[in-house]
């Protein structure tokens, strides 16, 4: 296997290379289109232009599936004043004024956005803080209003009371009235339609279903393929009806049956679930054994997973992947969402993406369906209405964590003596989709076929294909997708049994974000199920920068570090602008279920804490990291015997 380094000019080539495969099966079917001999290439047979006749996705589109505004109960209680309109304006590249008066703008516009305010009490806190006379008749709401309006410590404690009340299901009845909820939802949808500009900027309708029974986070974001007319026919599902995700899936089925529309759900980063996000034996919401119905239903409604966000990274944990040198990245393992129950080691295997992907292989072998066959996305989960995921432009979790000298020490969340400090916030992440166009329908379809990936913030371009016939010569292509779609399937796809005696081959290409660090390496993470029913994992370095050599144990020396922490700068004198390689699994067993996904690592760059230290002239807490190594995680490709 050889590695080929390509010039920065391929940024355009990679970004415009076509994405394909609706069905994502090796062998020729693409969505509802069956490829014929004249269509297998990327251009019409006999034509000169390589771009003429393309019928499939060619656009890499960046967005955020998880953003809160003042319409979320907790976000408004924490002080954010920016609303849904502000969130859309900011995402499409406009300059806005943050809650505490700071002017803010993205380095580049996003292509699409999901404003995903909490369905429970949506819009209510704006009215509570404003002293709505009807709501002030309720003693609990009046108390919240008075204490939050006092500001300071009183407001923080009141906000914690609000969150805790909702996690326990103690919601004042007046907030559950349908008339109030419908009015808020209709206004929400009207704003989404106002900012939806097909082909230029897409506002995807969505909300967050906030199941947090006993403080354990099982949140899901629900995304619509549809517009206002369909979405308004049913109110968003709330946890006042149930904390059980199975009941959310029933609501989703009912919505599609009633409206003829389409929805999907993606689970919140599982690191605050305290071991219940990815069950393997018993459904924690019902205490009943997992069944074939559970696994098929979950697979049907949840094609994606939020692998990284502001509350920590969820790819894997160092105790789960002890041989992975990059496993301990922005790890949050203190407790559940409200810190009411400390984290214990036995919980971790049911919280992280890599372990869930492995568990899915085992469940498929016993129950017939893999419930954890998900694609990857990253998102912010910011409660500021600002989708900021750049280290030098990070505006924090909620309005109390907007840029200021003391925010590293500011408490993000606290219950009793347990707390999360401000420096632990993560400037992460974004979701990338390969789509046919910048529309609701095209982006939703890309998500359904899992042709998506996550980054911790930088807009790294990534292509990933699996097949049986890739060769080293294919890594020389300036348009890797031309070969990728002809010979295999893209990220999110499936490989069925290949020719006897052959191991699968993979084509991977990555291009740096021109605003961020050079690339360090490309890795392929493999997980598999052996004949005894045990799962395994291994990380392979397949392409890297510089003249480094892999040792006999498969380890690659670090790329180096050019970060000047004191000045919050770095140089791109190490690493490379892009990497491309073909890799073949050296230990493939045709009888074993497996998955493969790509992790792309940048060289070290300054963390947001380094920028704050420089700009405010302060010293960060000793425990705070000052350097980060940003990354991308693709959706897997699965192999089934």
> Please, which pLDDT band fits residue 12 given cuts at 50, 70 and 90?
very low
Q: What is the full DSSP assignment across 529-576?
A: E-TTS-EEEEEEEEEESTT----TTS---------BGGGTB--TTSSB
Nearest-angstrom CA–CA distance, 162 and 176: 15
C-alpha angle with apex 11: 10 to 14, nearest 5 degrees? Answer: 75
Is 549 exposed, middle or buried, given 0-12, 13-18 or 19+ CB atoms closer than 10 A? Answer: exposed
Closest by alpha carbon to 201, among 90, 97, 116, 96? 90
Structure tokens that stand for 295 in this block: 């696994």
Q: What percentage of the chain carries pLDDT values higher than 90? A: 74
Tokens in use for 335?
């407790």
Domain boundaries, the chain: 3-55+461-640, 62-434
What 3-state class would DSSP assign to 178? helix
**Tens digit of each residue's pLDDT (9 = 90 or more) over 598-620:** 999 999 999 999 999 999 999 99
Question: What mean pLDDT value characterizes the chain?
Answer: 90
Q: In 3D, which of 59, 65, 66 has the Cα closest to residue 200?
A: 59
Say if residue 571's pLDDT is above 70.
yes
H runs (alpha helix) in 384-493: 440-448, 480-487
Residue-wise pLDDT for 68-81, tens only, equals: 999 998 899 888 99
pLDDT score recorded for residue 46: 58
Residue 497 has pLDDT above 90, yes or no: no
Q: Output the six-digit token pair for 139.
A: 């003693």
Rounded distance between C-alpha atoms, residue 362 and residue 529, angstroms = 7
Q: How many CB atoms within 10 Å of residue 282?
A: 12
Cis peptide before 151 (omega within 30 of 0): no
Q: What are the two backbone dihedrals, phi and then psi, of residue 346, each rounded to the nearest 5 degrees?
A: -70, -15
Q: Which two tokens stand for residue 495?
A: 């490989």
Are the C-beta atoms of residues 527 and 537 closer than 8 Å to each other?
Answer: yes
DSSP label of 511:
E
- The C-alpha angle 571, 433, 544, rounded to 5 degrees, equals 35
Rg of the chain in Å (alpha carbons): 24
Arithmetic mean of pLDDT, 477-493 = 91
Asked if 583 contacts 506 with a C-beta cutoff of 8 angstroms, the reply is yes
Q: Is residue 397 helix, strand or coil?
A: coil
pLDDT digits (tens, 9 = 90+) for 320-375: 999 999 999 999 999 998 888 999 999 999 999 999 999 999 999 999 999 999 99
């Amino acid at each position: 296997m050889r590695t080929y380094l390509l010039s920065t000019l391929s940024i355009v080539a990679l970004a415009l290379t076509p994405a394909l495969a609706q069905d994502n099966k090796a062998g020729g079917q693409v969505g509802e289109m069956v490829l014929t001999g004249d269509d297998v290439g990327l251009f019409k047979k006999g034509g000169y232009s390589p771009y003429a006749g393309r019928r499939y996705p060619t656009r890499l589109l960046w967005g955020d599936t998880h953003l809160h505004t003042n319409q979320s109960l907790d976000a408004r209680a924490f002080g954010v004043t920016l609303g849904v309109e502000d969130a859309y304006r900011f995402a499409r590249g406009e300059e806005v004024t943050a809650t505490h008066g700071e002017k803010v703008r993205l380095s580049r516009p996003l292509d699409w956005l999901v404003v995903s305010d909490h369905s429970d009490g949506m819009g209510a806190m704006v009215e509570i803080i404003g002293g709505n006379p009807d709501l002030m008749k309720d003693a609990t709401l009046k108390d919240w209003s008075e204490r939050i309006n006092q500001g300071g410590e009183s407001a923080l404690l009141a906000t914690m009371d609000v969150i805790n009340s909702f996690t326990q299901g103690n919601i004042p009845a007046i907030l559950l009235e349908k008339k109030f909820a419908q009015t808020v939802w209709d206004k929400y949808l009207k704003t989404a339609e106002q900012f939806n500009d097909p082909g230029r900027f897409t506002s995807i309708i969505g909300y967050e279903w906030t199941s947090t029974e006993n403080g354990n986070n099982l949140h899901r974001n629900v995304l619509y393929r549809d517009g206002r007319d369909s979405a308004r026919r049913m109110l968003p599902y709330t946890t006042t009806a149930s904390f059980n995700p199975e009941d959310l899936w029933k609501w989703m089925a009912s919505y599609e049956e009633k409206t003829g529309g389409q929805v999907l759900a993606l689970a919140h980063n599982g690191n605050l679930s305290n071991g219940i996000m990815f069950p393997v034996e018993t459904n924690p919401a019902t205490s009943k054994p997992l069944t074939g119905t559970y696994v098929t239903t979950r697979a049907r409604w949840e094609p994606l997973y939020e692998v990284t966000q502001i509350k920590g990274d969820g790819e894997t944990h160092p105790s789960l992947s002890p041989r992975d040198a990059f496993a301990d990245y922005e790890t949050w393992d203190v407790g559940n969402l409200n810190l009411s129950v400390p984290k214990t080691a036995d919980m971790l295997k049911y919280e992280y993406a890599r372990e869930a992907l492995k568990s899915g292989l085992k469940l498929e072998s016993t129950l017939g369906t893999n419930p954890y066959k998900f694609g990857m996305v990253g998102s912010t989960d910011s409660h500021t209405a600002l989708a900021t995921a750049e280290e030098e432009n990070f505006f924090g979790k909620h309005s109390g964590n907007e840029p200021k000298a003391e925010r590293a020490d500011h408490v993000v969340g606290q219950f009793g003596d347990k707390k999360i400090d401000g420096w632990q916030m993560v400037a992460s992440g974004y979701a990338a989709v390969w789509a046919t166009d910048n529309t609701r329908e095209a982006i939703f379809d890309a998500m359904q076929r899992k042709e998506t990936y996550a980054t911790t913030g930088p807009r790294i371009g990534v292509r990933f294909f699996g097949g049986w016939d890739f060769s080293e010569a294919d890594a020389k292509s300036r348009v890797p997708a031309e070969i990728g779609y002809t010979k295999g399937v893209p990220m999110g796809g499936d490989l069925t049994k290949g020719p006897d005696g052959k191991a699968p081959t993979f084509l991977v290409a990555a291009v740096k974000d021109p605003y961020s660090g050079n690339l360090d390496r490309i890795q392929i993470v493999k997980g598999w199920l052996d004949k005894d029913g045990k799962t395994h994992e291994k990380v392979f370095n397949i392409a890297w920068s510089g003249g480094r050599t892999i040792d006999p144990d498969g380890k690659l020396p670090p790329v180096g570090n050019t970060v000047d922490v004191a000045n919050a700068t770095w140089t791109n004198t190490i690493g490379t602008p892009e990497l491309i390689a073909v890799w073949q699994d050296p230990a493939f067993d045709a009888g074993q279920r497996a998955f493969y996904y790509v992790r792309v690592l940048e060289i070290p760059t300054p963390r947001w804490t380094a920028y704050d230290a420089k700009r405010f002239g302060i010293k960060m807490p000793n425990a705070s990291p000052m350097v980060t190594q940003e990354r991308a995680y693709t959706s897997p490709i699965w192999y089934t015997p």
